[in-house]
Every structure is written in C-alpha cells, then in structure tokens.
Structure 1
Amino acid sequence: MQKPIMSVTELENFMEANFPQMHEGGKLNHIEGLGPMTARMRLLYSDRNLRPGGTLSGPSMMALADYAMYAVILAHIGPVALAVTTNLNINFLRKPEPADLFAEAKLLKLGKRLAVGEVTITQDGLDGPVAHVTSTYSIPPRT
C-alpha cells in the first residue's frame, strides 16, 4: 500500500500558502494524521457552521470531506494545486451535534489522471457516522 510522500506539516504549509481563504475568520480545519492511502481531519466546532435547529450544516460537512480528500490525494502525489474535484456525493446519516467533526478519508484508487475515495464523517459521542462521502478527483498531467 502506497505511503504518503508529504508530512502533515508540509501539507498544512502548502494548504495555507495556496488556499489562505480556507482560514478566513479563524483556522477550523486541521490535518490530524496521514497514513498509507488515508488522512484524518478535524473540523473544530464554530457557530459559523450551525444551521437553524442547532445542527452543523451540510455545506460545512461537504467542505470538510472535500478538504480531506484533497489532503489525502496531495499527501500521496505531492503538491499539485490543480487537482480538482470532479464528483462528490454525500449521504447525511444522522444529525450532528454542535461539536467537532472528524473526517477519515481513504483512497480507493489512485491513478495517473483520476483518484477515487471515500470519507466517513464522525463525531465523538455519537454511535456511527454522521455522513458518508464518495468523491472523484481529476489529477492534471505531469509536465
């Protein structure tokens, strides 16, 4: 199984340099770990991610999943800013409470032009996932 070629620090530095808008209003997304074909992310709780009814919003979970997929891909192919999402499908499985979320991203296929993976979003104190995501990324040709 392929191991990451970037460290958490290298990946965080790349993200901050290339996507500073991700942290407007404060840094909420953190890469907690990388492993063979996997990445773990945390979205810190913030009122800005709440929706009416006191639950975390779908867009905040989608962004977390997309960021986790991007992180696991780049960790394994290197800093390629132009890798882009071509598909993201999310199933919301239960109402998340106003607390931190965790995303476990796993690459199912890492090819030269496409990467396919899944993300499971969980929350401490809840039994089972709050969302499940499948995603495909287009990887630009190496020059």
Structure 2
Amino acid sequence: MTIKVTAEEMGPFLDEVFPQVRGMFGIDRLDEDLLVMRLFANERHLRPGGTVSGPAMFGLADVAAYVATMARIGKEALAVTTNCSIDFMRKPEAGRDVLAECRVLKLGRVLSVCDVLLYSEGAPEPVARANLTYSLPPKP
C-alpha cells in the first residue's frame, strides 16, 4: 500500500484535527509495511500501582490505527473507529514509553482493518494487542 502522507506531514495534521492530543504521541517509523508510534508515557497516563493505564494504551492503539489509515488514504479527518477489540496481556513497565506497531491488514473502499501490538519500550514481549476497524468517509 502506497503512503500518501509522510510522518513529517502527519504531525501537523494531527495537531490540526486533534489538538487535544498534541505532544502525547510521536511517530518513529511510517512506511508501506509498518507504523511505529509512541506514547510519551508520563504521570498522567499511570494508574494505581505505577503502570500505564488501559485507557492510555487504548488511545495509543486507536491513534496508531488512525494514522496508519490516513497515511494510506490521505488526510481524511472524518474517518471514525467502528470497532476495537483489545487484549491486555501484561503490565507495561513504569517509566518507559509505550510503542505501537500497527499494520493495515485490509484497506477497502469503506473500511480499514488494522492490527496493533503494544510494547513497553525495550521489552521483547507485547503488553497488549488490538484489532481496530475504521469507517472511511465516502468519496464524492
């Protein structure tokens, strides 16, 4: 799948359409095969026990699927999540960013289906796995 929006273009686009998440995420890699996105985990993302919260990890998975989809279809801000299933498998390590490895499994006319693995930075085993489906805006 050809990339229509680069990592350098994606940052300003996200700032424009989702200013509420400005500075929370970074893109480490964006190409035809894989998106690697990071949650700059800090105190506001922690839950009792000192681990990154489930909602913070869900947010990373959702934004990663959105970015991977936008990279392939172009800047279509009105794409929306229609389904998400997430399995939390182990605690992310405190004090480390959380990384999302997102792959677009299928890109059709109306849906984008993505698979996301989440990791504590530097750890080999995933902390969560998510499958997301995005509904794409109709073409004029």
The one-letter code matched in structure 2 to 1:63 is G
Query: How far did residue 108 of structure 1 move?
Result: 0.5
* Residue 73 (1) aligns with residue 72 (2): no
User: Is 1:110 paired with 2:91?
Assistant: no
Structure 2 residue 91 is matched with structure 1 residue 91: no
SS at match of 1:130: strand
1:49 aligns with 2:45: yes
**Structure 1 position 18, deviation (Å):** 1.2
Gaps of 5+ in 1: none
Tell me which stretches of 4 or more aligned residues in structure 1 moved more than 4 Å.
Answer: none
Q: Equivalents in 1 of 2:68, 2:108: separation in Å?
A: 13
Amino acid at match of 1:134: N
Q: 5+ residue gaps in structure 2?
A: none
Q: Give 2:12's aligned residue.
A: 13
Shift of 1:132: 0.2
| Cα distance in 2 between the residues matched to 1:8 and 1:126 | 24
Does structure 2 retain, via aligned residues, the 8 Å contact 1:37–1:76? Answer: no
Q: Is 1:141 matched with 2:135?
A: no
Aligned to 1:101: 98
**C-alpha distance in 1, partners of 2:87/2:5?**
30
Counterpart CA distance in 2 for 1:5 and 1:58 is 31
Q: How many aligned positions are there?
A: 139
- The structural deviation recorded for 1:37 is 4.3
Q: Give the Cα separation in 2 of the matches to 1:38 and 1:110.
A: 14
* TM-aligned CA deviation for residue 35 of structure 1: 1.2
Q: Kindly report the root-mean-square deviation, in angstroms, between the aligned alpha carbons of the 2 structures.
A: 1.0
2:58 aligns with one of 62, 77, 82: 62
Give the distance between the partners of 1:127 and 1:142, measured in 2 at CA.
41
Q: Provide the rounded CA distance (Å) in 2 between the counterparts of 1:125 and 1:72.
A: 22
Deviations 1:78-103 (A, max 9, x none): 00000000001100010111210100
